[in-house]
């Protein structure tokens, strides 16, 4: 199994790519895998600290937005001795190509991982066309 | 307030936002003190402590709690685990592949010797929290000074 654990830093969003927000928290770009399957597109995002109540997924005109709000309190009386990662919200926006069946989008959260299954619309599915021998 | 061209007499011109940016940069500079350079090993950890307890937190989304191995020896905490890559069948293809996978092993040096059998670990929302109480023998003792 190849390892892909070298880059340990969470990516904070660049100033230019986000809209200024009222909430004074850092915003991170979650790492995502996007897999196109036969009948759907699966978007998987690592968003540690979120649960089903604190994540928003919206689809508007082919623009899929993911936003996760992380509420985290500093442990009582404790002081940070050594900090390697930052804590904050997550945001990411994708433009989808192709048609998606909006009625059947499903999103689930498990152990801080968001999974969105976007079924392809009937028209966008790859159709296999049978090739027949021409009969004269 | 209305800003007009006439105000732009200072070098680069007067940018109404420059002061906000300066304050923001200053804030970032002050806050960045809290993020010390990491050891470069995955996963990144935050270590919190007071006199009697250390709390280590790390983000391990998508891992089963049973798959995380935690061991403590004296002042050293070792975390082991792995995450499988997504299974992609024939006819399926990645558009993006950014999430980490593979095995990890991380060693964290703690500020004091820990009571090994009283360590508690919790895992929720992809965040692992390990509470490590200071060993009794390690706790500072108060010494009474008697006058001769």
CB of A71 within 8 Å of a chain B CB? The answer is no
Q: How many folded domains does chain B comprise?
A: 1
Residue B59 in contact with residue A49, Cβ under 8 Å?
A: yes
A70: Cβ–Cβ under 8 A, 6 or more apart, which residues?
A25, A49, A50, A54, A87, A88, A89, A90
Percent of residues, chain B, with pLDDT higher than 70: 78
With respect to residue A30, please indicate whether it lies within any of the assigned structural domains.
yes
Query: Cβ of A46 and B111 within 8 Å?
Result: no
Say what the pLDDT of residue A18 is: 59
Q: Which of A41, A81, A100 is nearest to B34 (CA)?
A: A81
With respect to residue A9, please indicate whether it lies within any of the assigned structural domains.
no
CA distance A114 to chain B (A): 9
With respect to residue B35, please indicate whether it lies within any of the assigned structural domains.
no
Which domain, by its residues, includes B79? 41-85+100-138
* Residue of higher predicted confidence among A1 and A16: A16
Distance from C-alpha of B119 to C-alpha of B67, rounded to nearest angstrom? 17
Distance from C-alpha of B132 to C-alpha of B77, rounded to nearest angstrom? 9
Per DSSP, the three-state class of A61 is coil
Q: B73 forms bridges with which residues in the sheet? A: B76
Query: Cβ of A77 and B50 within 8 Å?
Result: yes
| Closest Cα in chain A to B52 | A78
Distance of CA B70 to the CA centre of its chain: 17
Q: Which conformational region is residue B126 in: left (phi greater than 0), alpha (psi within -120 to 50 degrees), or beta?
A: left
* Residue of higher predicted confidence among B146 and A4: B146
Query: Cβ of A111 and B111 within 8 Å?
Result: no
CB of A44 within 8 Å of a chain B CB? The answer is yes
Say what the pLDDT of residue A126 is: 63
Q: What are phi and psi of B27, to 5 degrees?
A: -60, -45
Per DSSP, the three-state class of B89 is coil
Q: How many folded domains does chain A comprise?
A: 1
With respect to residue B4, please indicate whether it lies within any of the assigned structural domains.
no
| pLDDT tens profile A4-28 | 655 667 878 776 665 666 677 789 9
With respect to residue B33, please indicate whether it lies within any of the assigned structural domains.
no
* ipTM, 2 dp: 0.78
Which domain, by its residues, includes A46? 26-122
Nearest to A3 among B88, B93, B102 (CB): B102
Find the CATH number of the domain harbouring A71. Answer: 2.60.40.790
| pLDDT tens profile B42-64 | 899 999 988 888 999 999 999 98
With respect to residue A41, please indicate whether it lies within any of the assigned structural domains.
yes
Q: A44 forms bridges with which residues in the sheet? A: A33, A115
With respect to residue A113, please indicate whether it lies within any of the assigned structural domains.
yes
| pLDDT tens profile A22-46 | 677 789 999 999 999 988 999 999 9
Find the CATH number of the domain harbouring B72. Answer: 2.60.40.790
Q: Which of A38, A48, A93 to mutate to test the interface with B (most CBs of B within 10 A)?
A: A48
């Amino acid at each position: 199994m190849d390892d892909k654990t070298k880059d340990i830093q969470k990516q904070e969003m660049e100033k230019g790519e986000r809209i200024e927000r009222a909430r004074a928290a850092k915003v991170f770009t979650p790492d995502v895998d996007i897999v196109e399957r036969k009948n759907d597109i699966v978007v998987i995002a690592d968003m540690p600290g979120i649960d089903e109540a604190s994540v928003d997924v919206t689809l508007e005109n082919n623009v899929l937005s993911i936003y996760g709000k992380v509420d985290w309190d500093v442990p009582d009386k404790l002081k940070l001795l050594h900090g390697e990662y930052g804590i904050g919200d997550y945001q990411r926006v994708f433009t989808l190509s192709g048609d998606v069946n909006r009625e059947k989008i499903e999103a689930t959260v498990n152990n801080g991982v968001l999974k969105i299954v976007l079924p392809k619309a009937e028209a966008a599915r790859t159709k296999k066309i049978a090739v027949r021998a021409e009969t004269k | 307030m209305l800003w007009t061209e006439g105000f732009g007499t200072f070098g680069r011109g007067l940018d109404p936002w420059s002061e906000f940016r300066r304050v923001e940069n200053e804030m970032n500079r002050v806050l960045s003190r809290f993020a010390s350079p990491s050891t470069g090993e995955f996963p990144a950890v935050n270590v919190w402590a007071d006199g009697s307890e250390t709390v280590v937190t790390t983000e391990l989304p998508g891992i089963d709690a049973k798959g995380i191995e935690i061991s403590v020896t004296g002042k050293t905490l070792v975390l082991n685990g792995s995450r499988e890559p997504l299974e992609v069948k024939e006819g399926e293809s990645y558009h993006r592949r950014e999430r980490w996978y593979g095995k990890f092993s991380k060693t964290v040096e703690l500020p004091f010797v820990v009571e090994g059998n009283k360590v508690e670990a919790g895992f929720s929302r992809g965040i692992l929290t390990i509470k490590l109480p200071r060993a009794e023998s390690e706790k500072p003792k108060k010494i009474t000074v008697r006058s001769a």
